[in-house]
Structure 1
Amino acid sequence: MREPRALAVGLLLAWGGGAVAAEALQVPRLGRPVDAQEVARWDLSVFPDGRGLPAGRGNAVEGAVLFRQHCAACHGASGRGASAEELAGGTEPLTSATPDKTIGLYWPYATTVFDFVRRAKPMTAPGSLSADEVYALTAYLLYANGLLGETDEMDARSLPKLRMPNRDGFIGIDAALPPR
């Protein structure tokens, strides 16, 4: 008598557990709701032609101060590397057995520098810099790579016009870009 009762209880538990498991598969309950303001804070696409760049401005003189404050501890005093990669000063081209992937030798677009700094830096507080600070840091990094004068101002109009040495070093893709 105990065996059929145990079997019945086991079947009921298995059947009920299966229903719970099926419901869990249908409703993953991942993440949390976000409002339009939060989406806008992360919707930061910057394209090579400058679309998506915010208003603001900066030059390498201003950027050097910010670099010392926010970047030098990891990238070295002049961006030539420390605990993090070198950003400037490389000499080995990409065709070398040990290429330097500095901004001046590797990166194809100046707007990519801005986009990366804005999204990911400083490491201890990503996304915390103002647009002016990001333009200034970008100008400093371009200056440190010999691509810009120290007082040349970078903004949404001038940054996309700067032609990087490795602009043609990547294979392009024919992707539809959002309208201007």
Structure 2
Amino acid sequence: MSMPRGTTVAISIVGVTLAAGSLAADTAIQAPRLGTPLSAGEVAKWDRTIFADGRGLPPGRGTARDGRIIYAQQCASCHGVRGEGGTAEELVNEPKPPSADNPSKAIGSYWPFAPTIFDFVRRSMPPAAPGSLSADETYAVTAYLLFANGIIPESQEMNAAALSAVRMPNRDGFVWIDVKK
């Protein structure tokens, strides 16, 4: 019995499809086993979002006086004794926006929001042990950096409310993009 030519082709395609499906079931693709799964505690250590308006800042407090000691122990070897820069970026300069004469991106002349300083220090510093500073230590270092840049007095305590209220000198130096359009 002869079959029309199109029927033979259809049967051949069905046979190849069935064979491929059987092969795929026998050889399941597995992802590479890279790294180690994180525990809930490890995820929580890094799952800390702090917004520019201060939402997400943890409880704690610190002053520039306390922060000066921590800075000397944890930061000065890279950023310089007075924040002037060394093997890492300068942190302290006049609190005025960058310009052709003053291209500094130091905290006082560049950063638009104080809570983001806390966030960066908390997540990234010191480089050999990021995330190792307590909330109080991070508030103190942040207070010291704000004081060293002439933004707050040395005795002013920084906590979530106070840090959120700090008006940075370059807050209006950025062109903000409204992404909701």
TM-score, scaled relative to structure 1:
0.78
Q: Percent identity?
A: 56
Higher-Rg structure is: 2
Please show how residues 15-164 of structure 1 align to structure 2 within 5 Å.
Answer: 23-24=28-29, 27-90=31-94, 93-96=97-100, 99-164=103-168
For residues 92 and 155 of structure 1, the distance between their equivalents in structure 2, rounded to whole angstroms, comes to 24
The one-letter code of the counterpart of 1:140 is Y
Superposed CA deviations along residues 47-79 of structure 1, whole A, max 9, x for unmatched, are 011111000000100000001000111111110
Name stretches of at least 5 consecutive residues in structure 2 with no aligned partner.
Answer: 1-22
* The one of 167, 170, 173 aligned to 1:166: 170
Give the partner amino acid of 1:124: A
- What amino acid does structure 1 have at the position aligned with 2:138? V
Other structure's SS at 1:45 match: coil
Q: State the distance in 1 between where 2:148 and 2:79 align.
A: 12
User: Cα distance, 1:34 vs. partner?
Assistant: 2.6
Q: CA offsets per residue over residues 19-58 of structure 1, 9 Å max, x none?
A: 7xx744x534344333322221111110011111000000
TM-superposed deviation, 1:122? 0.9
Q: Could you tell me which runs of 5 or more consecutive residues in structure 1 were left unpaired when the two chains were aligned.
A: 1-17
Cα shift at 1:91: 7.5
| Count of aligned pairs between the two proteins | 158
Please name the residue that 2:4 is paired with: none
| 3-state SS, counterpart of residue 141 of structure 2 | helix
d(CA) in 1 for partners of 2:137, 2:95: 28
Letter of the structure 2 residue corresponding to residue 40 of structure 1: A
Q: Give me the TM-score of the superposition, normalised by structure 2.
A: 0.78
Instruction: Report if aligned partners of 2:111, 2:170 keep a CA contact under 8 Å in 1.
Output: yes
Decide whether aligned partners of structure 1 residues 151 and 98 sit closer, same or farther in structure 2, where only a CA change above 3 A counts. Answer: closer
One-letter code aligned to 1:35: S
SS in structure 2 of the partner of residue 58 of structure 1: coil
Contact 2:96 2:169 in 1 (8 A): no
CA RMSD of aligned residues (A): 2.6
